[in-house]
Amino acid sequence: MRAVIVAIGVAFLVSLLATPLAIKVFARLKAGQPIRSNLGLASNEGKKGTPTMGGVVFILATVIAYVAGHLALTTLPDAQIAQVEPTITALVLLGLMVFSGAVGFIDDFLKVRKRHSGGLNKRGKLFGQILVGAVFGVVALYFPSSMTDASGATTNTETVGSTTLSFIRDVPALEIGKVASVIVIIMVVMAATNGVNLTDGLDGLATGASVMVLAAYALIAFWQYRHWCADPTYTANPNNYCYAVRDPLEIALIAGAAAGACVGFLWWNTSPARIFMGDTGALGLGGLIAGMAMSTRTVLLLPILGGLFVIITMSVVIQIISFRTTGKRVFRMSPLQHHFELAGWSEVNIVVRFWIIAGIGVAIALGLFYSDFLASMG
């Protein structure tokens, strides 16, 4: 727990203190977010020229905090030193965050360079998401752990991802094999990155919602660590239900670090925002959230945990289908947050109310996770 707390604290402070520096640097580079002024959105007023690509700050803060958390791990008792060395789990999770963020950075850079809201074309962005998901999906499925106990016996041969679809844990009846699992991972990465990206658009909306989801994954992963199948002190009691995952403390540390970094960034990103996360941040957070679902074996729980992202994404899908089939729009504008803007809601009201929706989804998901544990123990 000490390492997770250290990582959260370091990430928060680095992000909080580094974001003002990033604002100055991006302002000098004239890396302002291009704003379309013909949409009739009140939230767009006065935002032209606000620095973008702020996701760079909390992505770097997360990586720095991960290193700090590992330094704290060296003070743990010998029985818990198994995860002191960096793991494949960290490579996959941080890799998904960094390289998904890199795809977003290219998009942001092109927008700034062209002084236009159209950056990387859809095919380019889609290719980048598929490539990142495929590379780290393969790594997640083809590199099992080789953790050994004091006697030298292997105690954990889990991979970061699973060849079985999962809800609260792996569902044995839903074994799909490695190739199909890589495809599922790609789909989850695409869904999560686009979901966070579509939610971004109002000051602090995507950042605050991501904090809740990442904090929930930190709790889930730490709970799995405390009831871990690879922990001989826990599995000594055969009546205790355990979680067959790989490196849960690593997962909790990274999720906590990312949540802390987002809170530090939110200080400057809340209304009126002095900096935007841009596609750099949105795609980076989406990639990490997808990795969290995969590594904690809660892939099918993600739509509940990230309920706000699903609702906003579906508003876009419904709008497109309706317009192409009937020529009519269901919403005044999509994504959904802009519908309420045109309906007369203030930006702050929309953000706070949408945060409440995000919190409800997180609460339901955590309730399902814990109720499954209680049922297993009973």
What integer pLDDT is reported at residue 164 of this predicted model?
95
Distance CA 260, CA 265 (A): 9
**How many whole angstroms separate alpha carbon 163 and alpha carbon 117?**
39
> What is the torsion angle, in degrees rounded to the nearest 10, for the CA atoms of residue 71, residue 74, residue 77 and residue 80?
80
What pLDDT, on a 0 to 100 scale, did the predictor assign at position 47? 76
CB neighbours of residue 176 within 10 Å: 13
- d(CA 342, CA 25) in angstroms, rounded, equals 34
CA 197, 127, 49, 289 torsion-angle sign:
positive
How far, rounded to the nearest angstrom, does the alpha carbon of residue 151 sit from its chain's CA centroid? 38
Ramachandran assignment for 344, one of left (phi > 0), alpha (psi -120 to 50 degrees), beta (any other): left
pLDDT in the model for residue 145: 80
- Residues of the chain scoring pLDDT < 50: 78-82, 150, 152
CB 41 within 8 A of CB 338: yes
Closest-CA residue to 282 (of 334, 207, 214):
207
What pLDDT sits at residue 81? 43
How far is the C-alpha of 234 from the C-alpha of 226, rounded, in Å? 8
Whether the Cβ atoms of residue 355 and residue 362 lie closer than 8 Å to each other: no
How high is the pLDDT of residue 309? Answer: 98
Q: Which residue has 């945060």 as its token pair?
A: 355
Three-state secondary structure string covering the chain: CHHHHHHHHHHHHHHHHHHHHHHHHHHHCCCECCCCCCCCCHHHCCCCCCECCCHHHHHHHHHHHHHHHHHHHCCCCHHHHHHCCCCHHHHHHHHHHHHHHHHHHHHHHHHHHHCCCCCCCHHHHHHHHHHHHHHHHHHHHHCCCCEECCCCCEEECCCCCCCEEECCCEEEEEECHHHHHHHHHHHHHHHHHHHHHHHECECCHHHHHHHHHHHHHHHHHHHHHHCECCCHHHHCCCCCCCECCCCHHHHHHHHHHHHHHHHHHHHHHCCCCCCCCHHHHHHHHHHHHHHHHHHCCCHHHHHHHCHHHHHHHHHHHHHHHHHHHHCCCCCCCCCHHHHHHHCCCCHHHHHHHHHHHHHHHHHHHHHHHHHHHHHHHC
Q: Is 122 exposed, middle or buried (0-12, 13-18, 19+ CB in 10 A)?
A: exposed
CA 324 to chain CA centroid, nearest Å = 32
pTM, two decimals, is 0.93
Q: Which residues contact 170 (CB under 8 A, 6 or more apart)?
A: 162, 164, 244, 297
For residues 97, 102, 105 and 106, what is the CA-based torsion angle, rounded to 10 degrees?
-150
Cβ atoms 100, 157 nearer than 8 A: no
Give me the pLDDT at residue 269, please. Answer: 95
Number of C-alpha atoms within 13 angstroms, CB side, residue 23?
15
